[in-house]
Amino acid sequence: LSRLLAEETENHRAQQLATNYNEVSQSMYQQKALTMDEQLKYQFSEPVGQYLAQYQEINERIRERKKRCHEMDKLTTESNKLRAKSESGNPMTESRLSSVRESYEDIN
C-alpha cells in the first residue's frame, strides 16, 4: 500500500513537473515570439515602409511635373496663336507663360 502511494505521489509530482514545464516553455515561447516580431518589425517592416514611402513622394513629384509641363505647353500654344494674330502678342499671356516656365524649371 505504501509502495502504491509512493508511486502515485511520484506520478503526481511528474505530472506537476510536466505541467509546470509546459507553462514555462509556453511563456518563454510567447516572449521569444514577441521578441522576434519586434525584431522583424525593426529590421524589415520599418525599412521597407520607409523605402516604399520614397516612391510615393517621387510619384507625387512626377505628377506635379507633368501637370506643370501640360500647363506650360498649353500656354505656349496659346501664346503662339496670339502672336500669329498680332505681331506683339499678348503681354499677359507672355508673363503667365514665363512664370509657368520658371515653375516648371524649378521642379526639374
pLDDT in tens, the chain (108 residues): 677 777 778 888 888 888 887 777 777 777 777 777 777 787 888 888 888 888 888 888 889 989 988 988 888 888 888 777 776 666 777 787 788 888 878 776
- Which triple of cell numbers denotes residue 100? 509657368
DSSP-assigned letters across all residues of 54-71 = HHHHHHHHHHHHHHHHHH
List of E strands, the chain: none
| Residues 67, 42 contacting (CB under 8 angstroms) | no
Residues 6+ apart with CB under 8 A from 104: 65, 68, 69, 71, 72
Structure pTM?
0.46
